[in-house]
Amino acid sequence: MNLEELTSSGMLELYVMGALSQREALIVEEVLEAHPKIVQEIEAIEATLVNLTADESFEVRKEVWNQIQSSITGTRTLQSDSPKTNWSMLSGWAAAILFLGGIFWMLQQNNLLEQEIQTTTTEKIVLQEKIENTEDALVETTELLNILRSQDYREIALPGNPTVSPESFAKVYYNDRDKVAYIDVKGLPTPPEGKVYQVWSLIMDPLTPRSVGVLDGYRTSENKIFKLDNIPDPEAFGITLEPTGGSESPTLSQLYTLGMVTI
């Protein structure tokens, strides 16, 4: 069957409706493969049928419906000249993109995890240092309290000089046997820049001052308690404010505290 016979026989219409026998349908499909442009004719027939079925006044006779239904053997798919989509290629590209995206996400997660581990490690180190510092400070404080409470040390009060700093005060814990003293200067104001407190052991008559220590670490000390060694037999202790590095003799106009050693 040639193309002209096919279009004039009405078989295309029956083919669209699925009313041809299997053998007739194969004949039509062979013609369609040889003449792909006939697909346009098929599409026109389908459009016409759609328009007819949409018209409420159109009615198909019962005999025609019976013939169509008795002839239907299945639906068939028309082949089109339109280019086919290469789904395998697209799938490959999609898989590659997903794979690269997965690697990028994993790298990001790995970087975040490394940062968290580094932060946690740093925090752990800082915490450990704080714990160690606290433990050291606790041991030091315990030892200091044991020393100050010992009967080997006697407490000497150093009240403030009324003419220089009446609100100041200090305390000396002095061991006569070992010639060691601990001095608590928490009651002194913070020295100004370029100045430092200096502690003196005094003989009163005649006045003979001897330096026993410069308190350079006043600003950084937490408890403001300092140990002084090699203390000569004193009659009094005094604290003056001196230039950084200390002085050979006390500046009496800057005498902040003075306390007598009772026998």
Q: What is the CATH number of the domain that holds 216?
A: 2.60.40
Query: What three-state secondary structure class fits 169?
Result: strand
pLDDT score for 215: 94
Res 28 pLDDT > 80: no
Residues 39 and 129 in one domain: no
Residue at 148 is within a domain: no
More confidently predicted of 14 and 55: 14
Q: Cβ contacts of residue 142 below 8 Å, gap of 6+? A: none
Mean pLDDT for the chain overall: 77
Residue 73 in 3-state DSSP? coil
Q: Which pLDDT score, from 0 to 100, does residue 59 have?
A: 55
Query: What confidence score (pLDDT) does residue 53 get?
Result: 55
pTM: 0.49
DSSP for residue 160:
B
> For residues 263 and 61, which has the higher predicted lDDT (pLDDT)?
263
- If asked whether residues 39 and 123 sit together in one domain, one would say no
> Which two structure tokens, joined as six digits, stand for 46?
């389908």
Out of 71, 96, 122, a domain closes at 71
Same domain, 163 and 248: yes
Tell me, yes or no, whether 122 and 216 share the same domain: no
Q: Which of 11-25, 30-44, 133-147, 229-243 has the least mean pLDDT?
A: 133-147
79 pLDDT more than 70: no
Q: What is the pLDDT of residues 185-226, one digit of tens each?
A: 999 999 999 999 999 999 988 889 999 999 998 988 888 999
Domain region containing 110: 85-136
pLDDT above 80 for 90? no
Q: Are residues 180 and 209 in the same domain?
A: yes
pLDDT the model gives residue 69: 56
Q: Are 238 and 250 in contact (CB under 8 A)?
A: yes
CB 198 within 8 A of CB 211: yes
| Residue 176 domain flag | yes
| Range of lowest pLDDT (5-19, 73-87, 195-209) | 73-87
Determine the pLDDT at residue 151.
83
| Residues 225 and 163 occupy one common structural domain | yes
Same-domain check for residues 200 and 230: yes
**Is 145 part of a structural domain of the chain?**
no
The whole-number pLDDT of residue 196 equals 96
DSSP string, 100-146: HHHHHHHHHHHHHHHHHHHHHHHHHHHHHHHHHHHHHHHHHHHHHHH
* Claim to verify: residue 159 and residue 212 sit in the same structural domain: yes
33 lies in some domain: yes
pLDDT at 240: 96
144 falls within a domain: no
Q: What is the domain count for the chain?
A: 3
- Among 18, 43, 71, the domain boundary falls at 71
At 25, the pLDDT band (50, 70, 90 cuts) reads confident
Mean pLDDT for the stretch of residues 45-51: 66
| Domain contains 219 | yes
Of 241, 142, 226, 215, which Cα lies nearest the Cα of 184? 226
Give me the pLDDT at residue 18, please: 67
| Amino acid 106: pLDDT | 78
Domain assignment present for residue 78? The answer is no
Whether 228 shows a pLDDT value over 80: the answer reads yes
Q: What is the pLDDT of residues 156-172, one digit of tens each?
A: 999 999 999 999 999 99
| Boundary residue ending a domain (29, 48, 71) | 71
- Asked if residue 49 and residue 94 are part of one domain, the reply reads no
Residues 243 and 174 in one domain: yes
Which pLDDT score is estimated for 37? 72
> Confidence class of residue 248 from pLDDT cuts 50, 70 and 90?
very high
Establish if 141 belongs to a structural domain.
Answer: no
Mean pLDDT of 176-192: 92
Looking at the structure, tell me whether residues 162 and 251 fall in a common domain: yes
- Residue 67 pLDDT > 90: no
**In this structure, are 182 and 229 located in the same domain?**
yes
